[in-house]
Chain A
Amino acid sequence: MEPFDKQEQELSDRELDALLPQWKVPSAPTHLRAAIFPEDTEPWWRRFWSTSVRVPVPVACCLALLLALGGWRWMVPGVGRVVMKTERVEVPVVKTEVVTRTVYRDRIVRAPRTARDFSALEPVAELRPRIIRSVHVQD
């Protein structure tokens, strides 16, 4: 009786193997991808406003400190600013005298060449003779 009872109370391996696959589960929801990889579905300009950058805490602290320091220096007048100021300063200067003297020296200068052609000699259009009275001195 006992083996029969055990057979009644328990399934065999084959029976169990046939039963187990009958438990079906639904598929994964389709919005999972969008939840994990939002950059695949969102346009770039929307990502631009929602993207975050991970910065190590020490770096973030340094950046915040620098920002605060810069802001304070900008807000407080005269601190850390470059101011241009004109001052009159006496500077010793060595004075030198310039003397101008005239110096003559000989040198050969060539005379300018004159034209030696007869182009300027032309016959006159009207001859006007002029009689000059001669004076004889009677001794």
Chain B
Amino acid sequence: MTPQKAFDQYHEAVYRFAYRLTGRPDLAEDITQECFLVLVRSPQRYDPARAGMKTFLFAIARNLALKEHRDYGGEQALDDADIPAATVPRESLEVSSAVAAAVAALPQLQREALILFEYEGVTIEEIAEIVAANVGTVKSRLHRARERLRRALAPYRNVGNTHGTV
């Protein structure tokens, strides 16, 4: 697959992923650009036998976002299940912003697993390849992320066509 074809097919997904991961459009743009420049400059780094193009690009985007997080992310923990829910969404916030804030408050490793699984439709096995972890670890991160979101977004129970509980 040529870099141009890969760009046409996956640049939106990579940008969305980077945007949700970093919460910044300029950073998402940089990460997306860097992903495809890697493909243009050193196409030999992509091995179709190892993973699909989408997985390869997500892995690069994830590593760039992680580097950004480590360099400028401050002291937020990468994967700490014990930290309290970071945000208490206010009633006045729109649901979209509330979800964004709740996801942004997740630890980095939980956030990336959740975004890939919930928003990009990546399978758990592919996520495990992208984040270089085993499947059990990814499942655990997803479980903790969803648990945290269930608490953080509880005030928005009756917004967005959700009524009552099961």
Which residues of A does B touch, CB under 8 Å?
7-16, 18-20, 22-29, 32-33, 35-37, 40
Interface residues of B in 86-101 (CB under 8 A from A): 95-96, 99-100
Question: Do B40 and A27 touch (CB < 8 A)?
Answer: no
**B145-166 interface (Cβ within 8 A of A):** 146-147, 149-151, 153-154, 156-157, 159-162, 165-166
Picked from B40, B151, B162, the residue with its CB within 8 Å of the CB of A10 is: B151
Q: Is the CB of A22 within 8 A of B160?
A: yes
Residue from the list B118, B149, B151, B159 in contact with A9, Cβ < 8 A: B151
Interface residues of B in 112-166 (CB under 8 A from A): 118-119, 146-147, 149-151, 153-154, 156-157, 159-162, 165-166
Q: How large is the interface on B (under 10, 10 to 19, 20 to 34, 35 or more residues)?
A: 35 or more
Give the residue among A25, A27, A37 with the most B Cβ atoms within 10 A.
Answer: A25
A123 nearest CB across to chain B (Å) = 117
Question: Which residue in B16, B29, B99, B154 is a CB contact (below 8 Å) of A32?
Answer: B29
Given contacts A16-B146, A18-B161, is CB(A36)–CB(B153) below 8 Å? no
A-B pairs under 8 A by CB, number: 90
14 contacts between A and B (CB under 8 A): A9-B151, A11-B150, A11-B154, A12-B150, A13-B146, A15-B150, A23-B100, A23-B103, A24-B96, A27-B15, A28-B32, A32-B33, A36-B33, A37-B3
Judge whether B99 and A23 touch: CB under 8 Å.
Answer: yes
Q: Identify 18 new A-B residue pairs, CB closer than 8 A, beyond the known A11-B151, A12-B165, A24-B96.
A: A11-B153, A13-B166, A14-B166, A15-B157, A16-B150, A19-B99, A19-B153, A19-B162, A20-B118, A22-B95, A25-B19, A27-B12, A28-B29, A29-B29, A32-B29, A36-B37, A37-B40, A40-B4
- B99 to chain A minimum Cβ distance, whole angstroms, is 4
Secondary structure at chain A's binding surface: helix, strand, loop or mixed?
A: helix
Collect the chain B residues with CB atoms within 8 Å of residue A36's CB: 3, 7, 33, 36-37, 40
* Cβ-defined contact, B154 with A22, below 8 A: no
Give CA–CA (A9, B157) in the complex, Å. Answer: 10
Task: Determine whether the beta carbon of B99 is less than 8 Å from that of A22.
Answer: yes
Residues of chain A within 8 A of B157, CB atoms compared = 11, 15
**In whole angstroms, how far apart are the Cα atoms of A25 and B28 in the complex?**
11
